[in-house]
Structures are given as structure tokens and as C-alpha cells.
Amino acid sequence: MHNLIAGFRLLCLGFTLATVTMVVQAQNTTDQPLSRIGFGACAKQDQPQPIWSAIIETQPELFVLLGDNIYGDTDDMAVLKAKWDLLSAQPGFQQLRKTCPVTGTWDDHDYGANDAGVEYAHKKESQQLFLNFLEVPANDPRRTREGVYSAQVTGPPGQRVQVILLDTRYFRSPLVKAYEKGEPGEGRRGIYSANNDPHATMLGEPQWIWLQEQLRVPAEVRIIATSIQAVSEENGWELWANFPQERDRLFRLIAQTRAGGVVLISGDRHLAEISKLDAAVAGYPIYDVTSSSLNAPSGNKTKAGTRFANEINRHRIGLTYFDTNYGMIRIDWTATDPILRLQVCDELGGVVLQQRVRLSELQPSR
């Protein structure tokens, strides 16, 4: 499942006539299909993490870390390594690693700086520390290329699950700040607005080319992990909507490649919700299951802590959950039309949010 074979392919980047050498990962398929995929984000490494007990009890076959796996926020790589070591030493996390494979991507705080992108000066060193934490082999493509994006396929034909891990940090262009401080209005609490520079990017061109290839790899279910939300648009914090042309490109690419079975998972927000994008955009409904935080919930208060903090999300299905949580995707392969249960679970393992969808509903129109 973890063995990845590196190959090299020269690709022309259209009008630039530039040539980029890409490392293309071979897709490793095993005979055992995935039916329980856990995920979560935002863990304070120096605080208790009791939620791992509930996660382990669900017997996940894979667990995906979605970013802010620690709160590093430093230019000192020795400090950053020490914080990764604190997470590794958490008893519950150690037990999880004995239970199932653990993979993941990063977000700003484990990347190295709050809301940081391409400008972070120590991203190369930080990348190696992150890969060390994940125990990524020396011959893995992520060890020699820029960015921590990766993909793997598990399961036999007819029951293949592809997990695509995006890197929304290494190449990401600067954010546009709309508000210096305070809350910009009821239902919109963040400080950022759209960056409409046509050259601004979320993934960078090499990763976009790689993603296009991955979406053409045969698979029945595709779980795309993005550290920040892709479907939600209005809250004003870090979102794909900060880069409208890149958000549009993501959903157009899903439609153009006719990649079926896509479900997005995201973190970052210190809250949980399930969002749904209309079928007209990508060819079928795209769900984004946001799970955060593993041990540092938002509490759903304004900065003053005096009133309920409303937040607009026109794509939200049902309610928002503000306490400690983790995510779970359960796939029932025994059904004639396989059933996916997209879940958010509380610290005791109880399901607090759920969307049930049949695999046939996640297919491009003919």
C-alpha cells in the first residue's frame, strides 16, 4: 500500500513552452478494499489528546491527518522538530499507529507560520521534518520534489479507493487582506477576500499537472484531502475561495477528467460541517466533510466570548458542530450500489453529523 514507484515524464506547459520534470507515482493496489477511513485536523501537541481512544475503537483501516497536526509556528527547525516529537510521543497517537497506517498533509501551523504560503523561508527544511514524522521512506518522491502532495490506491478493481493528498501551502500565492482586525460583519468572521490576480495559484503548476494525472487513475472512490475548505465560500478565513480561479479550476478539472466518486475532506476551522456543491459545477454533487479540531474546539463564540458566532455557508448541509471531533468515511461495498457514510464523530465516538450517499450519485453525467 505504501510502496510508490517514481518515474519521470517531460511535460510541456502550453504557452510558456517551459518543460517541467514530474515525478509520477505508480498506483499500488492491494486485494483488501478500504471500508473505514478516519481523518482529523488541528491538534495541540502539548495538550491531552483523549480522542484517539474513540478513533481506535472504530478500527480505521487508514487515518488521514489534514493539517495543523501540530502548532509549530517557528523559523527554528529544532523547535519545530521538538513539537513533532511531542505529537509522536502522545500515547493515543502511538497506539493509533499500531492500529492502522497513518498518512496526511500539512496546513499553515505545521508548515511553519500562520496563514503562510510560498513565502515561508524554511519550507524545504520543514518538508523534511514533516516527512520524517510520517516515516516516509528515503526513496519516496516527496523526498526529492517540492511539496508534500501524494496519492495512493487501495483495493481490487471495483472496490478501489484513491486517497489524494494536496499541498495547499508550498506554492500558494499571498492572501489578500480585506480587514485589519475585528469581525467584518454578521456571518462573516474572517479577514481575507478574493485574490483575483490571474497568476495567483493555490497548488502551483507542477501539482496541477500531477493532480490531472491522478484523477485519470482508475478508482471507484476518490478521497481528496485539502487542508482548507474547498466548497464553503463565505466565512472570510482561509479557503479555496480566496483564489476564485483556482477553486473553479479544481471543480472544472474533476468534470473534465470525468473522475467519479470524488469526496473532499478538509480541516483548519476548529469546527465541523458537511458542505455540498451543486452538481452543475463538477458534473455531480461534491461533498466536503470538514473535521476540526482533535483537541482544541472553537467553542462557537465571538472574540469577546459574549454571544453566539453565526457563520454563513450557503453550501452547508444541516448543522455545524463546534466541539472536539474527528471524521470517518464508511463504505459499504456489500451493497449492489455501494453506500458511503460521510461522518463527523464526537470525542466519545458518537456520530454527530452524517451524510449518506450512494456511489452511483457521485458519477459524471453521460
Give the mean model confidence (pLDDT) for residues 94-105: 98
At 187, the pLDDT band (50, 70, 90 cuts) reads low
Q: Is the dihedral of CA 90, 96, 97, 102 positive or negative?
A: negative
What is the full DSSP assignment across 122-166? THHHHHHHHHHHTT--TTSGGGTSSS--EEEEESSTTS-EEEEE-
Instruction: Yes or no: say if 105 and 148 are a contact pair by the CB < 8 Å rule.
Output: yes
At 281, the pLDDT band (50, 70, 90 cuts) reads very high
pLDDT for 181 equals 53
Q: pLDDT tens-digit profile of 207-259?
A: 999 999 999 999 999 999 999 999 999 988 999 999 999 999 999 999 999 99
> What is d(CA 275, CA 244) in angstroms, rounded to the nearest whole number?
17
pLDDT for 284 equals 98
Instruction: Yes or no: say if 123 and 80 are a contact pair by the CB < 8 Å rule.
Output: no
pLDDT for 305 equals 56
> What is d(CA 74, CA 110) in angstroms, rounded to the nearest whole number?
9
Give the mean model confidence (pLDDT) for residues 104-119: 98
Decide if pLDDT at 16 tops 50.
no
> What is d(CA 178, CA 337) in angstroms, rounded to the nearest whole number?
46
pLDDT for 344 equals 98
Name the architecture of domain 28-362: 4-Layer Sandwich (3.60)
Q: Is the dihedral of CA 110, 116, 122, 123 positive or negative?
A: positive
Instruction: Yes or no: say if 45 and 87 are a contact pair by the CB < 8 Å rule.
Output: yes
At 299, the pLDDT band (50, 70, 90 cuts) reads confident
> What is d(CA 9, CA 205) in angstroms, rounded to the nearest whole number?
15
Percent of the chain beyond pLDDT 90? 82
Parallel, antiparallel, or unpaired for β 221-225 and 102-104?
unpaired
pLDDT for 355 equals 98
Q: Which of 264-278, 307-321, 330-344 has the lowest mean pLDDT?
A: 307-321
Percent of the chain beyond pLDDT 70? 87
Greater model confidence, 32 or 165: 165
Question: What mean pLDDT is reported for the chain?
Answer: 90
Give the mean model confidence (pLDDT) for residues 128-143: 98
For residue 363, give the C-alpha cell.
Answer: 458519477
> What is d(CA 331, CA 33) in angstroms, rounded to the nearest whole number?
9
pLDDT for 135 equals 98
pLDDT for 115 equals 98
Decide if pLDDT at 23 tops 50.
no
pLDDT for 303 equals 59
At 309, the pLDDT band (50, 70, 90 cuts) reads low
At 31, the pLDDT band (50, 70, 90 cuts) reads confident
Give the mean model confidence (pLDDT) for residues 174-195: 76
pLDDT for 22 equals 36
pLDDT for 178 equals 85
pLDDT for 184 equals 56
Decide if pLDDT at 77 tops 70.
yes
Give the mean model confidence (pLDDT) for residues 139-152: 98
Give the mean model confidence (pLDDT) for residues 40-65: 98
Closest CA to 313 of 230, 235, 238, 237: 235
